[in-house]
Amino acid sequence: MKLSDIGEFGFIDRIKKDTIVNPASVVVGIGDDGAVYKTTEGKEQVAVIDTMIEGRHFIIGKTATWYEAGYKAVASNLSDIAAMGAEPTHLVLSVALTPQMDAAQTDELYRGMKDICRHYGVNILGGDTVVSSEGAVLTVAAFGEIEAGKAVLRSGAVPGDIVAVSNTLGNSGAGLDVLLAGDAGYAAMKKAHAMPVPQVELGRLAVKYGCHSLNDISDGLASESNEIAAASHVDLILDKLQIPLSDELRRWCEVSGKDPYAYALAGGEDYELVLTMAPDDFYLLKEEFSSLTVIGKVQAGSGNVYLKDGHHTQVLAPSGWNHFSGGE
């Protein structure tokens, strides 16, 4: 059955089930001109928005299933919420779909969205659906809450801070190349690209332990570290050999002749967090969240990032994903 067969209202009836997972904060959900929700006293609201375009950000049958596309559209927004130290609460969707799209495919798209929302306790409050002539366009606006005055910004890094990242970097960019090439195996890298894990828990702990600055690694470490340096008016000194890489990434790069650090620095879409904080506070945080690696330090400067590689140090330019670069 095609979307053209069931129409707009039939489509809405089909997808509105199981959209509210935390009803206590919802006054009006899907079904009216607007949603109404309650905010928590003493907390400030965080709002983010992101768009994924079929053929540009995902290719059905090659780099993603419809389920994975829906999951990732939400995950990228929850990662931005996490990068502010906030807890995600609600989202609204604007979805452009072709009339020829099968209703079962839309079921999978929304199943992916609903599953990740259920995992993080996020309500889908509503949105908009329009017709697209050239493929799906998925826009998610997500909202979160954080204690008043506690949002962790890019601009808070200070000299003496350590620089650290969560988990490992580079798997998503390499996973994309593996998927595009149709290579067998490398399941972890493929999953890292198709179904990234937003670091919501770490974002909340960063607030608890007094993190000074925070950024999610959506466009690559080189880009995100430069954003912190520029916003904070400091220099970041990163040690290339300390950047954490997965064994699977190292193995694939040995076979393919690729540079694993190129993926870690500029591959993008890892959705890990890069943070700066005082060393004593960092090691307290690490006792509660062990998957953190120190990769550098913050020093007084004018907004540059330097990459050490043994005895050689060079400026690290903000390379990585750029929406207007014309490339994937």
Binding site members for Mg(2+): 33, 50, 80, 128, 216, 219
Residues annotated within a binding site: 33, 50, 57, 80, 110, 127-128, 154, 216, 218-219, 269, 321
Residues annotated within a binding site for substrate: 57, 269, 321
Residues annotated within a binding site for ATP: 110, 127-128, 154, 218
CA dist., res. 294 & res. 274, Å (int)? 10
